[in-house]
Amino acid sequence: MTYSISEAATRSGLPIHTLRYYEKEGLLPFVQRTPSGNRRFEQSDLDWLALINCLKGTGLQIKEIRTFIDWYKEGDCTLGKRLDLFRKQKSAVEAQIKELKMHLKKINHKIKYYETACAAGTEKACDGMDEC
């Protein structure tokens, strides 16, 4: 079972143009073509897209993802590099979560601040809660 580019777009949640762009950037080197040149996506290509989505969503740039895919293509001699990449990415994501939790704390504080202000109808009611 294979999918046309529009089916792959639907299943991955990405626009068609983005899929072509990703392929051009070397992120989808395994997508096959029909004799007339149309792309046919297999499940494994959609799996790659899910991994690309994960790496992008955690801050890797497209050229860094391409490097990873190039390593994959080189085979077992790059296993160490690939393990390293995921270990670094693990730390990066943990740091991102930590930062977001700090931001969330600040935002929750602001919500309390503005709830007080809204209830009173004026920001003056928040003297000493904080600034801004």
Using rule CB under 8 A, residue 90 touches its own copies: yes
Using rule CB under 7 A, residue 99 touches DNA: no
From the list DNA, its own copies, none, partner contacted by residue 82 (C-beta under 5 to 8 A by kind)? its own copies
Using rule CB under 7 A, residue 126 touches DNA: no
Using rule CB under 8 A, residue 82 touches its own copies: yes
From the list its own copies, DNA, none, partner contacted by residue 47 (C-beta under 5 to 8 A by kind)? its own copies
> Please, which residue, 25 or 115, has the CB nearer to its own copies?
115
Q: Residue 117: how many CB atoms within 10 A of its CB?
A: 15
Question: DSSP string covering 17-80, please?
Answer: HHHHHHHHTTS-TT-EE-TTS-EEB-HHHHHHHHHHHHHHHTT--HHHHHHHHHHHHH-GGGHH
